[in-house]
Every structure is written in C-alpha cells, then in structure tokens.
C-alpha cells in the first residue's frame, strides 16, 4: 500500500484478519518466489483480508508518527514542540506575539505536516536536530521554523505529486 503520506508499506494478515508481523523484510522474504511460480486461486476472504490489511497500515501510520515520521525524528519533534507552543498562544497577541507571527507559525505547521523536510544538503534537518538536542525554547523554535520556511529551506513541496488518498499497489495470498 502507498499511504497518502509517508512510505510504501506491507501488511501480512492471518486467516482471522490479525497482523502476523510488522517486519517489512519478513513479509518480503515470505512473499518471495521464482518468476515461473504458478499463482494460486484467490481465497474467498481475500478482499476482506486486503481491506483489514489496509486498515492496519493506516492505523499503524497514525500510531507511529505517520505523516510526521518516527517520534525520534526532527520533523516529528519540531512539529510537536511548535504545535504545543502554538496551542499555548491561543488567541493571545501582544507586542512580541503578533497576528503575523501566529500566521507564520500556522503556515509552518501545515507545511511540516503535509511535506517532508527539505534534504538540501540536510541543512534544515541538521539545524533543527541541533536546536532540539540543545533544548531550544519554544519562542526561538517559533522564530527559526517559519524563517526556514520563508527561505524555502524547510520542506520539499511538490504540489503536482501530492496524493490525498491511499493507493493499493497489490495484494497477495500467502499460503
């Protein structure tokens, strides 16, 4: 399956519709066969198991960071910290927290959520990782991230290639 965001994923479901393993490598090894191997007929529950596999992948994507990647990654950590800061701001605006600053934070949050971090020599990712490891405070992060975004160094945005729906690539019966 190719989720709307993130990497392609495999699911292996048993006859009861329960996941067998999360290991993508184990699934690939089990599915490996010679090019001249004859296909077996589809089981009666093939479509139901495929549906359950898709649901499992989508649930796993939500549980383990999904669109934001691993919880230990720069994208996930940056998004979570910036989101918490934005939530604490609420509608509070003053001399230091202006409407424009709040809009910049909101745009950066949306971009981080929807698109992968830029890999331009890993500059943005490395900078964010350094700041996060150093314990950057919320205010400084809220200055840094929108600045990277405005300089075009935060996320890779390919609006043409953006998918909105998960895509089933193929399904197999493993015996």
For 75-129, the pLDDT digits (tens) are: 889 999 999 999 998 887 777 788 888 999 999 998 888 777 766 546 778 889 9
Q: Give the count of alpha carbons within 13 A of 122, CB side only.
A: 4
Residue tagged 């796993």 (tokens):
60
8 A C-beta contact, residue 3 and residue 163 = no
17 CB-contact burial (10 Å; exposed 0-12 / middle 13-18 / buried 19+): middle
Predicted pLDDT at 64: 52
Q: Is the pLDDT of residue 6 over 60?
A: no
Rounded to the nearest 10 degrees, what angle do helices 99-114 and 138-150 cross at?
A: 70
Predicted pLDDT at 13: 92
CB within 8 A of 106, min separation 6: which ones? 86
Calpha distance 115→79 (Å, rounded): 12
Q: How far is CA 110 from CA 80, 86, 105, in A?
A: 12, 12, 9
8 A C-beta contact, residue 149 and residue 157 = no
Assign 175 a pLDDT band (cuts: 50, 70, 90): low
């Amino acid at each position: 399956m190719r989720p709307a965001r993130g990497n392609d994923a495999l699911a292996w479901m048993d006859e009861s519709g329960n996941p067998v393993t999360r290991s993508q490598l184990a699934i690939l090894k089990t599915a490996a066969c010679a090019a001249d191997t004859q296909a077996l007929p589809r089981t009666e529950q093939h479509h139901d198991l495929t549906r359950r596999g898709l649901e499992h992948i989508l649930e796993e994507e939500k549980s383990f960071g999904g669109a934001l990647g691993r919880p230990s990654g720069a994208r996930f950590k940056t998004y979570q910290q910036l989101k918490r800061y934005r939530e604490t701001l609420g509608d509070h605006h003053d001399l230091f927290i202006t409407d424009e600053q709040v809009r910049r934070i909101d745009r950066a949050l949306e971009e981080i959520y929807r698109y992968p971090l830029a890999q331009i020599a890993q500059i943005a990712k490395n900078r964010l990782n350094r700041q996060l490891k150093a314990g950057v405070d919320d205010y400084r992060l809220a200055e840094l991230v929108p600045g990277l975004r405005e300089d075009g160094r935060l996320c890779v945005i390919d609006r043409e290639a953006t998918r909105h729906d998960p895509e089933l690539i193929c399904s197999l019966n493993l015996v």
